[in-house]
Amino acid sequence: MGQSRDLHIFDDAAGRAYPREVTAPQTSPNSEAVRPRPQAATLEFRSATKRYPGQEDAAVDGLSLTVPAGEICVLVGPSGCGKTTAMRMVNRMIEITEGDILLDDRSVRDRAPAELRREIGYAIQQIGLFPHLTVAANVAVVPRLLGWDRDRIEARVRELLELVSLEEGTAERYPAQLSGGQRQRVGVARALAADPPLMLMDEPFGAIDPINRERLQNEFLRLQAEIRKTVVFVTHDIDEAIKMGDRIAVLRAGGRLAQYASPAELLMYPADEFVEDFVGADRALKRLALQRVRDIDLWSAATVRSGEPVDEARRKIAEADIDMPVLVDDHGRPQGWLSERGFAGERVRPELRSRAEPLVELDDVLRDALADLIESEVHYSPVVDSGGRLAGVLSLEVISQTLHVPPERARTGPQLVDPAPGEDDAVSAEVEPA
């Protein structure tokens, strides 16, 4: 059982498999010494517009949004919606024609492009590793441009390869000798090399097969929990957006912002039909991936120990949400659902109606927990905490109640876009504190 749980944590496709507040993985004392303090910048688009000469429609039209420091902002939308253009305007790979983009309140237009770009991590779908340089030299490109000394570069490269889970032997290999997943990791390491306060990532996992993509996504989220960069992440995949984003900006053709909201907000209250279509008909199900079992109100069940007086047990059953008692051992760990036959005598006998399966954990993502219920063909199952003690009961009914959208918050019209400051509660409730 424990083993399959572990697998679930890793296999978790859309859920935040790694809680945002995970502690940093152990690194060698040496690398701790050279690690610069994590820093992140606030990014603000102010009516940023890109108009190509001779084209009637703007590629990006008056885009205004703010990405708070340390958050991942996903730009998502159908092809041709200007999401990549918007991203490339940040490091001036594409010049803004109207409006402005501010990085920590400083306009990017006031900066020399090459100098600006060295402060911004850059990872693209095709990765663009330099084939003639070893992995180590690829990672060292920006530190070299910045004139770091040899020892510092060497230590930084070693630290980064460790950070993105690449073996040490990888450093001296050439990109042609790596697998797609390894190249992608090198690309991320290279983008992080100079510890930039902002990262731009254009479909960084787009060219990777689904299984490895998921692993890389999870790795990146875990990494981000540690380094807390401000990230602009471009994708056309709404599921990836929901998984990766603290905030999601949905763009529509012509580079106009359709909605800018947290994943939960987006799924519960799509601003208009376009967003509703784009997030998909199964948006209620997608929300399951955003919540953990511990986030919802579980049913309570009577916990009964073998040898306990039957009267006492019956009193507990009367107080519980459900009339099915759970037999627990001395440590409070559920053994199974107690059968009526167990109450035949003075004291409770361990007569089980069925075993306690499946066993859901509080940290499980709701989607996985639901899948467990369906697979085991049951309507409810015991939930245990990290110590294996019974914490409550999860049922299909509880899940469907959770998915209910309070009507007062439901969509009032297509004009509901940018969450106003006062309305932000729902956003921060879903997005764990930065």
Partner 1 sequence: MSALLPLAQLEIRSRRGGTCESEDGFCPDWIADNLDRYVSPLLEHVVLTVASVGIGFAIAFALALLAHRREWVSAPVGALTSVLFTIPSVAAFLLLVPLTGLGVLTAIIALVAYTQVFLFRNIVNGLSNVAEETKDAARGMGLTDRQVLWRVELPLAVPEILAGVRIATVTTVNLATLAFFAGAGGLGAQIYTDITFRSNVVVAGGLAILLAAAFDLMVLGGQRLATPWRRATAA
Give contact residues for partner 1 (rule: CB under 8 A). 91, 93, 113-119, 122, 124, 126-134, 141-142, 145, 173-174, 176-179, 190-191, 200
Closest distance to partner 1 from the beta carbon of 123 (Å): 8
Q: How many CB atoms lie within 10 A of CB 144?
A: 13
Please identify, using beta-carbon distances, which residue of 29 and 147 lies nearer to partner 1.
Answer: 147
Give the Cα separation of 18 and 263 in Å (integer): 17
Question: Of 36 and 131, which CB lies nearer to partner 1 in the complex structure?
Answer: 131
- Both tokens of 126, joined, read 């095709």
d(CA 140, CA 134): 10
> For residue 130, which amino acid is it?
F
Specify the pairing of strand 98-103 against strand 256-261. Answer: unpaired
**Cβ 141 to partner 1 shortest distance, Å:** 6
Closest Cα partner for 427 from 114, 143, 66, 39? 66
**Residue number with CB closer to partner 1 (175 or 334):** 175
What is the rounded CA–CA span in Å between residue 1 and residue 410? 40
Closest to partner 1 by CB, 93 or 426: 93
Nearer to partner 1 among residue 72 and residue 142 (C-beta): 142
Quote the least distance from Cβ 145 to partner 1, whole Å. 6
Min. distance of Cβ 195 from partner 1 in angstroms? 14
Write the DSSP string, 338-403: EPGGGGSSSB----EEEE--S-EETTSBHHHHHHHHHHTT-SEEEEE-TTS-EEEEEEHHHHHHHH
Q: Which is nearer to partner 1, 128 or 414 (CB)?
A: 128
d(CA 342, CA 305): 11
Cβ atoms of residues 146 and 194 within 8 Å:
yes
- Whole-number minimum distance, CB 132 to partner 1, in Å? 5
Nearest distance from residue 131's CB to partner 1, in Å?
6
CB 348 within 8 Å of CB 307: yes
Nearest distance from C-beta of residue 206 to partner 1, angstroms = 12
Distance CA 11, CA 5 (A): 10
Q: What is the DSSP string of 133-174?
A: S-HHHHHTHHHHHTT--HHHHHHHHHHHHHHTT--GGGGGS-
309 DSSP 8-state letter: B
Nearer to partner 1, 191 or 257 (CB): 191
CB 130, min distance to partner 1, A: 6
DSSP annotation string for 250-279: EEETTTEEEEEE-HHHHHHS-SSHHHHHHH
| Angstrom distance (rounded) from CA 432 to CA 297 | 19
Compute the least distance from the CB of residue 121 to partner 1, in Å.
9
Q: Which is nearer to partner 1, 199 or 301 (CB)?
A: 199
Question: In this structure, are residues 403 and 262 in contact, taking their beta carbons and an 8 Å threshold?
Answer: no
Cβ proximity to partner 1: between 118 and 222 the closer is 118
Other beta carbons within 10 Å of 110: 9
- Dist. CA 92–CA 373, nearest whole Å: 50
- Closest approach, Cβ 75 to partner 1, in A, equals 16
Whichever of 177 and 401 has its CB closer to partner 1, that residue is 177
Residue number, 52 or 130, with CB nearest to partner 1: 130
- As a residue count, the chain comes to 434
Shortest approach of partner 1 to residue 148 CB, angstroms? Answer: 14
